[in-house]
């Protein structure tokens, strides 16, 4: 690995790009970053003050073919933010606060302007999430990637005291599912969405259904970070479980946090589905079941809340910048329903 603080990276073009964004990367440094040491690895001294049994929570992920939309738009400053926010959400729903992030950028032929925009995106989102961008690797592999093709991979590490690990085991029938709005597709379902939409539209087309946005703009909206909302809920002890809605949609991801004997009864009529999803569904004649399993449908995070805590949670979320959380269903006994059915 080459850490951004190093004098050089393996790839000369990457070198130039990194020189240009070095200051931005350094702006992400939190007090834990040991910036002067660790030539081969990135060194981070976590603040474990008050923790009895620190648990490291980690995740690795890519952006999928949202990259192809970015390339088609010639706009590279958002995909890095998508990836950071995706990773942040994945560990935040476990109760962890992010410590540091590392990125990998594999590309056919490295273009310094593109690289700068991409890494700038990583840095911007890392700063916003209080997460240090401690290292990265740029690999130029013309035999693996096409001329303009590239892939991005991000890896995150956070920490939580074991007693505060959120695993959903306290979830029980009767709990309420609060849905937090997504900005768009986030980072899932792009293969289907692109297939359907680019058959009918170019990125710059503005179908009336999208209310002024171009297809490209709507598809490229940045994956939202729910970190402030999650931290506010956890601080006030208001969430029994949290699900990040990614591939697999609501049914697939809610199932990951429900204890045995519980199922999610989602009322898919409870919120207004953003027009982008309806456009994809109509344009591609996509069956409703496929829509539910592929897309977040406008709900990017679900908080499982006790019925008596719904009001407090709603107001807590409003205070954390999410005034529009919606009650989208409830937890039921496993026998009475399954995750793909609406409640009575």
Q: Restricting to residues 95-154, name those near a second copy by CB under 8 A.
A: 96, 99-100, 102-104, 106, 134-137, 139, 141, 143-146, 149-151, 153
Q: How far is the CB of 146 from a second copy (least distance, A)?
A: 8
> For a second copy, which is the closer residue by CB, 168 or 216?
168
Q: How far is the CB of 60 from a second copy (least distance, A)?
A: 4
Pairing of strands 132-140, 97-107: parallel
Q: How far is the CB of 168 from a second copy (least distance, A)?
A: 7
Site residues (CB under 8 A) for a second copy, limited to 158-177 = 158, 162, 165, 167-168
* CA gap 35, 79 in Å, rounded: 26
Q: How far is the CB of 244 from a second copy (least distance, A)?
A: 5
| Per-residue CA distances from 107 to 70, 110, 139, 288 (Å) | 14, 6, 6, 36
Q: How far is the CB of 134 from a second copy (least distance, A)?
A: 7
> For a second copy, which is the closer residue by CB, 163 or 342?
163
* CA gap 229, 318 in Å, rounded: 9
| Sheet architecture: strand order including 241-244 | 241-244, 299-305, 176-181, 326-333, 262-266
Q: According to CB under 8 A, which one of 43, 73, 164, 318 is a site residue for a second copy?
A: 43
CB contact at 8 A, 331 and 264: yes
Span between the terminal Cα atoms of the chain, in Å: 54
> For a second copy, which is the closer residue by CB, 107 or 313?
107
Q: Which of 151, 157, 126, 194 is nearest to 63 (CA)?
A: 151
By CB under 8 A, the count of residues binding a second copy is 72
Q: According to CB under 8 A, which one of 18, 21, 93, 286 is a site residue for a second copy?
A: 93
Site for a second copy contains 197 (CB under 8 A): no
Site residues (CB under 8 A) for a second copy, limited to 44-73 = 44-46, 48, 53-62, 64-65, 67-68
* CA gap 163, 165 in Å, rounded: 6
CB contact at 8 A, 119 and 9: no
* CA gap 44, 41 in Å, rounded: 10
* CA gap 81, 73 in Å, rounded: 16
Site for a second copy contains 244 (CB under 8 A): yes
Site for a second copy contains 275 (CB under 8 A): no
> For a second copy, which is the closer residue by CB, 10 or 211?
10
Q: According to CB under 8 A, which one of 130, 173, 228, 247 is a site residue for a second copy?
A: 247
Site for a second copy contains 40 (CB under 8 A): yes
């Amino acid at each position: 690995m080459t850490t951004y603080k190093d004098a050089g990276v393996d790839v000369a073009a990457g070198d130039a790009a990194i020189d240009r964004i070095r200051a931005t990367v350094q702006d992400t440094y939190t007090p834990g970053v040991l910036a002067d040491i660790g030539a081969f690895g990135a060194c981070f001294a976590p603040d474990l003050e008050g923790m009895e049994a620190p648990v490291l929570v980690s995740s690795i992920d890519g952006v999928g073919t949202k990259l192809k939309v970015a390339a088609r738009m010639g706009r590279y400053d958002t995909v890095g933010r998508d990836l950071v926010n995706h990773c942040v959400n994945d560990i935040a729903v476990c109760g962890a606060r992010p410590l540091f992030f590392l990125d990998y950028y594999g590309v056919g032929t490295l273009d310094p302007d593109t690289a700068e925009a991409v890494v700038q995106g990583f840095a911007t989102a890392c700063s916003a999430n209080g997460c240090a961008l401690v290292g990265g690797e740029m690999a130029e592999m013309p035999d693996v990637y096409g001329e303009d093709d590239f892939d991005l991979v991000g890896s995150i590490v956070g920490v939580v005291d074991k007693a505060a690990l959120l695993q959903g085991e306290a979830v029980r029938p009767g709990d309420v599912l609060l849905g937090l709005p997504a900005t768009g597709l986030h980072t899932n379902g792009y293969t289907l969405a692109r297939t359907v939409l680019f058959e009918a539209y170019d990125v710059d087309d503005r179908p009336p259904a999208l209310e002024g946005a171009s297809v490209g703009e709507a598809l490229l909206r940045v994956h939202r970070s729910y970190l402030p909302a999650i931290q506010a809920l956890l601080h006030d002890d208001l969430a029994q479980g949290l699900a990040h809605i990614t591939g697999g949609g609501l049914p697939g991801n809610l199932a990951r946090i429900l204890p045995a004997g519980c199922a999610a009864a989602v009322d898919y009529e409870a919120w207004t589905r953003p027009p982008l999803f309806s456009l994809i569904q109509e344009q591609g004649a996509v069956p409703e079941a496929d829509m539910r399993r592929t897309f977040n449908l406008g709900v990017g995070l679900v908080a499982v809340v006790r019925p008596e805590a719904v009001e407090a949670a709603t107001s807590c979320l409003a205070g954390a910048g999410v005034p529009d959380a919606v009650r989208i269903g409830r937890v039921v006994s496993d026998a009475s329903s399954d995750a793909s059915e609406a409640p009575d």
